[in-house]
Structure 1
Amino acid sequence: MGNLDTRFQSQGAAIPGPGLPGMATGRFGVERAVSVRDIEAAFDLRARVFRGGQRDDRDRFDDACEHYVIRGQNSGAVVGCFRVLHCADGRAVRHSYSAQSYDLRAFYPLEQPLLELGRFCVDPAHADADVMRLAWAEVTRLVDDSGAAFLFGCTSFRGNDPSAFADSFALLHARHRAPAAWRIGHGEAEVLAFDTLPPMQDGARAMRGLPSLLRSYLALGGWVSDHAVIDRDLGTMHVFTGLEIAAIPPARQRLLRAVAAKV
C-alpha cells in the first residue's frame, strides 16, 4: 500500500536474474530487489504506471524502503513491484509516506512493528491473478518474519474528480470506516470528507469502483479513513488503508499462509 495502483489484478521454480532468494509460481517469481538493475527496473515501471512515463517517480522514502520485484520467469522482465517501509513501533509511522497526508497519532501508543506497503503496481500487459497471489504470499512472509501487528498505506483511485467514485466512497464510509480506536485524522493535504457525500445510489457501481487490491484488504478485515486525499501531483485520490493482523479471521490467516507455503 504507500500508493496502491488500482490496476492490480499463478506453482514453482527458481527465478532467473539477481536478487535475494524469493518465491515463485509457474509463470512469475517475487524477490527483494538488491541489484541496481532490478531497482532501476522497478523505478521505471513505477514511472510508467504512476506518471504515464512522463516523469520519474522516485521520492525521498525510497532509500528507507525495501523494494520487491515480480518477474516473468521466462522473460526475466519485471512486471510488478512494491516497496516496504519497516516501522519499529507506532511512533515510527511519523516517518512514513502516509504521514505526509494523514494524522496518524492513533498509532503512536502501539509497541509492535508495522509495515507500510507502497508503490504497489503491475505492468498492465501482465494483469494476471497470479501476480496478485504471489505478492500476497510475499507480504504474508514479511508479516510473519517481522512480527508486524499492522499493514498500512494509501489506496489510490484514478483522477481528481470525486464524482467518478462517489458511490465507492459512500460505500467505504458506510461499511468500512476505521474503528474508533484507529480513527485517522486529517493532515495538511487537500481532503474530501466522506460525510459530505450523498448516500450510495448504486451498490454494483460502488463495488466496481473499488480497486481490486483494496477489495482484498477489506475481505481480510481492513478499513479506511473517513476521507480521501486529493493528490494533484499523482492525479489520484487516495484513502488511508489499515489492516490489523490480529483481526484477520483465523480461516483467512490459514489460507494466506497456505498460499505462501505453496510458492
Structure 2
Amino acid sequence: MGKHKRSTAVAADWLAVTPYIHRAGTLDVRLATSSEEIEAAQALRYQIFYDEMGAAPATHMLASKRDIDDYDAVCDHLLVIDHGEDGRPHVVGTYRLLRQVVAQLNRGFYSAGEYDLSPLIETSKTSGQLLELGRSCVAPDYRNNATISLLWRGIASYLQTHSIGFLFGCASLHGANAGAHAAELSYLYHHHLAPPELRARALPEHYVPMGVLPPERFDARAASKALPPLIKGYLRVGALIGDGAFVDPQFNTTDVFVVMPVERITKRYAGRFDVAGDAN
C-alpha cells in the first residue's frame, strides 16, 4: 500500500471481542463499532472514489485521505474485513446504512438532496421502514462473489433485525455527461420505472430526463448489457427506478434512483451483486 494512502487496517485485538455477522474463510462481515473501523472504511472509500474513479475531493478529504461527510456520524457502517492480509485485519468492503427512524431524528436521507422522496415516505407508513444504502465499495482484489455475498448476507441480517420494508439509494453510471448514457437511461425508464407510489423524482433544479429515446430508437439488450454491474445486480432482484437522473460533477457520475421492495429479494440472488463503488 503506497505511503500516500491512509491505511484500511484495524486493530486485531478490538475485532477479537466484537461480534461478526457471517464469516467465510479469512473474511467476515460486521457492523463497525469503533471510530477506528469507520475511519478505515472512509479510507477505503477514498481509495475507490477519488484515487480510482477520479472524484474531486474537498480540501479536508485530500489532507486526511478519507471520504468523509456529516452522515457518517449517524449511519451504521457495514464492513467486510480480511483477517489474512499482511498479518493485520483490513477493511476490504463497505456499505453505509441509514434507517428511516434515524434519518428522521437527524439530517434526513442523503438521497433527499437529489430526489423528492415523498411518495416513498408516504408508502412506508403502511408498508415498512425504509433503509437507505450508500457509499458502497469493494477493494479491487476483492471484487468477487465471496465478498459481495458477505456484504449482502450482512444486509439481509440487518433487514431482519430492523423490520425493513424497502431498500433504496442512488446508483451511478460513470461520467457526468448524461447524454452519453441516453440508451441506458432510456432503457431503465421504459423497462424498470417504479410505480407512482414508489417513484422518487429528481428535484426540479437537478432533473435530467431519462426516457429521451423511444423504445424503437435503442437496442434494449445492448443498453441493459452496458449498465454498471451494481445496477444490473439490483435489477435482478426486482429493483425499480425513479424518475429523472442527477448529474454529480464532484463524483463524475450520472445517478439514478433505485428502490427495492424487500419482499422481492430472495436468498437465491444474494451472491449476484458486483460492486466496485457507488458514492451515493
Give yes or no for TM over 0.5. yes
* Structure 2: runs of 5 or more not aligned: 1-11, 62-66, 273-280
Given the alignment, which residue of 224, 236, 239 partners 1:222?
239
Q: Cα offset for 1:94?
A: 7.7
Distance 1:209 1:91 in 2: 36
Aligned to 1:45: 44
Equivalence for 2:114: 101
CA deviations 1:79-99 (Å, max 9, x no partner) are 111110011399779800001
User: 8 Å contact 1:93–1:99 — kept in the other structure?
Assistant: no
Call closer, same or farther: CA 1:186–1:20 in 2, change over 3 Å: same
Maintained 8 Å contact 2:173/2:253: yes
1:43-82 matches, cutoff 5 A: 43-52=42-51, 55=57, 56=61, 57-75=67-85, 76-82=89-95
Pair 128,189 (structure 1): closer, same or farther in 2 beyond 3 Å: farther
Q: 2-side partners of 1:94 and 1:238: how far apart?
A: 21
Instruction: Tell me the CA shift for residue 43 of structure 1.
Output: 0.3
**The residue matched to 1:160 in structure 2 has which SS?**
coil
- For residues 175-214 of structure 1, what are the structure 2 equivalents within 5 Å? 175-197=191-213, 199=215, 201-214=218-231
Instruction: Name the amino acid aligned to 1:255.
Output: R
Alpha-carbon distance, 1:152 to partner = 0.5
Whole-Å separation in 2 of the counterparts to 1:234 and 1:92:
27
Q: Choose the corresponding residue for 2:179, options 155, 163, 167.
A: 163
Q: Using a 3 Å threshold, how does the CA distance of structure 1 residues 213 and 72 change in structure 2: closer, same or farther?
A: same
Query: Kindly tell me: are residues 187 and 78 of structure 1, through their superposed partners in 2, closer, same or farther at Cα, counting changes over 3 Å?
Result: same
Sequence identity (%): 29
| AA aligned opposite 2:40 | A
Residue pair 2:94, 2:138 contacting (<8 A) in 1 also: yes
* 1:188-235 residue CA offsets vs partner (Å, 9 max, x unmatched): 552321123454523343123222222222112110112110011111
- Hey, what's the Cα distance between the residues in 2 that align with 1:134 and 1:180? 33
The aligned residue for residue 10 of structure 1 is none
**Which has the higher mean CA deviation after the structures are superposed, 164-173 or 199-208?**
199-208
TM-superposed CA distance for 1:16, in Å, is 8.0
Q: Which residue of 2 aligns with 1:34?
A: 33
Cα separation, partners in 2 of 1:189 and 1:126, compared to 1, 3 Å: farther
Once residues 193 and 242 of structure 2 are traced to their aligned partners in structure 1, the CA distance between those partners, rounded to angstroms, is 6
Distance across 2 between alignment mates of 1:27 and 1:184: 40
> 1:255 maps to which residue?
268
Q: Which amino acid in 2 is paired with 1:123?
A: A
Deviation at 1:62, TM superposition (A): 0.9
Q: Which residue of 2 aligns with 1:149?
A: 165
CA contact (8 A) 1:101 1:189 kept: no
Structure 2 residue matching 1:194: 3-state secondary structure:
coil
TM-score normalized by structure 1? 0.82
Paired letter, 1:41: A
User: d(CA) in 2 for partners of 1:210 and 1:80?
Assistant: 21
SS of the residue corresponding to residue 21 of structure 1 reads coil
- After TM superposition, the score normalised by the length of structure 2 is 0.77
Q: Which moved more, 1:230-239 or 1:197-206?
A: 197-206
User: Structure 1 stretch 25-34 or stretch 142-151: which is displaced more?
Assistant: 25-34
| Equivalent pair of 1:153/1:240 in contact (CA under 8 Å) | yes
**Residue identity in the other structure for 2:76:** E
C-alpha distance after superposition, 1:220-262 (max 9, x if no partner) = 211011211001111111111101123x1xxx52536899xxx
- Paired amino acid for 1:24: R
Q: 1:147 to 1:256 in 2, by over 3 A?
A: farther
Between the aligned partners of 2:234 and 2:183, the Cα distance in structure 1 is 19
Name the SS of the counterpart of 1:214 in structure 2.
helix
The verdict on how the C-alpha distance between 1:256 and 1:219 changes in structure 2, with shifts beyond 3 A counting, is closer
In structure 2, the partner of 1:234 is 251
Q: Which secondary structure does the structure 2 equivalent of 1:81 belong to?
A: strand
Q: Name stretches of at least 5 consecutive residues in structure 1 with no aligned partner.
A: 1-14
